[in-house]
Amino acid sequence: MPTSTTEPALAKRACAVIAPTTACPACATAYQQCCLPLHQGTAIASTPQALMRSRYSAYVLGLYDYIVATYASAERANLTVYDIANSAAQTTWIGLRVLDTKILPQSTNDAGQFYGEVEFKVFYSEAKCLYCLHERSTFVQEDGQWFYRDGVMLAGNGAVKSKRNDPCCCGSSKKFKQCCLPKIQ
């Protein structure tokens, strides 16, 4: 169980920021043009993909309160900022590739809600090993706003066996050794 004395130290990580003109780790555009307004609460994500990208960049920046706030209400009830920060404490985020996204027809049997799906690969390292998370996430609209509900893991999860001269796993078209390999810690 987390103790109250450890929580403030982790909570400080939720204040990490980058300059508004810096390239967003999730979108490759200027942070102020994509995820910054979402993180600041001055705009809402217009699509499931925009929300997914903003959640990834929030993980990179340590904005764990945003991660909690963008869970659908049923899931959010069981989460704390501490849980999220703790689960990501050993993780170095390497890159995100969005592979597919769609908005499903409005449901007729579940309060008329809209659902969306985003398939993505996230690359991250822990203890100097590179891993891939390949997931299809489900998003739901509540009061006109998109939230993350859950996800299913797809083939290709786990350790990535990239060689130094292979094309980088992140999809940058650079060699692994010239792109994400140096980021692995």
**Binding residue (CB under 5 A) for Zn ion from 43, 172, 175, 177:** 172
Length of the chain: 185
Nearest approach in angstroms of CB 78 to Zn ion is 27
**Binding residue (CB under 5 A) for Zn ion from 52, 72, 179, 184:** 179
Q: Tell me the window of 6-14, 51-59, 112-120, 134-142 that interacts with Zn ion (CB under 5 A).
A: 51-59
Under rule CB under 5 A, residue 26 binds Zn ion: yes
> Binders of Zn ion: how many residues, by CB under 5 A?
11
**Binding residue (CB under 5 A) for Zn ion from 50, 84, 88, 168:** 168
**3-state SS, one letter per residue, for the chain:** CCCCCCHHHHHHHHHCCCCCCCECCCCCCEHHHCCHHHHHCCCCCCCHHHHHHHHHHHHHHCCHHHHHHCECHHHHCCCCHHHHHHHCCCCEEEEEEEEEEEEECCCCCCCCCCEEEEEEEEEEEECCEEEEEEEEEEEEEECCEEEEEEEEECCCCEECCCCCCCECCCCCCCEHHHCCHHHCC
Under rule CB under 5 A, residue 35 binds Zn ion: yes
Nearer to Zn ion, 65 or 83 (CB): 65
Nearer to Zn ion, 57 or 138 (CB): 57
Closest listed residue to residue 9, CA positions, set 85, 104, 71, 66? 85
Q: Residue 165 half-sphere exposure, CB side, CA atoms within 13 Å?
A: 0
Q: Tell me the window of 63-71, 124-132, 147-155, 172-180 that interacts with Zn ion (CB under 5 A).
A: 172-180
Under rule CB under 5 A, residue 180 binds Zn ion: yes
Under rule CB under 5 A, residue 52 binds Zn ion: no
Nearer to Zn ion, 24 or 88 (CB): 24
Q: Tell me the window of 76-84, 112-120, 152-160, 165-173 that interacts with Zn ion (CB under 5 A).
A: 165-173
Q: Which residues bind Zn ion (CB under 5 A)?
A: 24, 26-27, 34-35, 57, 168, 170, 172, 179-180
